Structure 1
Amino acid sequence: MDVAPGGDGGLIWPSEMPVCALEGQNGLKLRLTSEFQNMGSRFALLTVLVLAAPLCWGQGAERIMRDQNATTVIGPRNIPLYDGAKALLAGNDAEGVRLTLQGLKMALGRREEEAALSNLCAGYIMLALYDNALKYCELLIARNDKNWRGFNNRAVIYIKTKQWDKAEKDLIRGEELHPNARTLKIARSMYMDAVHPVAPEIEIDDRQRQFSAESNPQ
């Protein structure tokens, strides 16, 4: 699957347009940033967009097509996949996963299938169901081994489950595929903070130390 210009994240809208934002008729772009809990890092954020391709592509969400008489409105073809992506963006992770599973069953073509797999991987990560997330990440990578979002999200799973060597391998592969992806940089920071934490520097005032020693003679 081709990577949308400037796109990064873990979720994608099923769409014809390879853009990384949910765009309504009024042109507004909606984004949701979901913080992985207990990571202890200021960079422990994953940008979630709607998957048509994390970490995550976007699509024109309210695109409307009308017939010649302008009377028939045609919405998204795969309604469960579309609604599941919206639910995940809104933070309704369980409902988003449920709908996306339905969308996967009725997916037509590689694009919709990869969108569903990628959103399921991201959704299960947010539910902290890492075995389930890994299943869909690996299905995604098996179908498209050039999908950097699959490697990014699988690296996050390995970080969360403390499988450092596997996380590093996936990060390297993702960075080879898309070196400038912001989400990969965030995942790399999560990895570095977990594996190579920076010890805080504590300066001890010698005078304070001397005062303490004098106050507590042996």
Structure 2
Amino acid sequence: MSNRFLLMGQDADLINRLERLSKQASWSFDRVTTPTGLVVELEHEQPAGVWWDLGAATLDTAIATMTLIRPQVQGPITIFTTKMTDRIQRKLYQARVDDVIAFPFDDRVLRALIAQRTWLYQHMQAQMPKAPAKATAAQVITIGSWQVDQQNYQVKKAGSLVELTPKEFQLLSYLIAHRNQVLSRDQLVNGVWGYDILNTSRIVDIHISHLRDKLEDDPHYPVHLLTIRGFGYKLAE
């Protein structure tokens, strides 16, 4: 199983300490510097866990982002903060983070804590039964040369399999469910991500661009994933 984590933060001291700790524990981590960057990165990688420096964003932004990503992060979420209060802890735990760590902290205790949390998530995932599902004809939807298998989460273009991230597939499925309708960016983010997040337009635009790159014959002149200027997007059959 993966031992690669994802860090959102810019504090040099925290980065150095986590680098030393990771080296000792045979872990590694990628770093992003914005909440939006974290959300986008999670579409391409399922990390062993998420580390978040509260000094790099406001508490409200942290809570909004945690609520957004919690369903898709299959590992522990650890928050680091220089200011520990009952209110901060209460709100973050309500957003389903696993641990709130205050500076200064003991590296050895932190290493043991993260190892225990990671083991617990991996152990629980290993115990979950996996039942293969079969698609029926009604669950395979055709849009032009695309075939979207919503039961098995597969997309084919002209018979060739196209690799989509989970969120790209969810966005495509949402557009299919509302095909030929104009949807605003707010409608898309609420329907797909399920939460009002910052930089909404950027998140939606990035994922639409990725879908066009993978599915349209010419991403610059899309036939199905259309931009309706001043309103949003539409999936045209």
TM-score surpassing 0.5? no
Higher RCO (Cα < 8 Å, 6 or more apart): 1
TM-score range, shorter chain: under 0.3
Indicate the structure with greater strand content: 2
Structure possessing the higher radius of gyration over alpha carbons = 1
Q: TM-score, normalised by structure 2?
A: 0.26
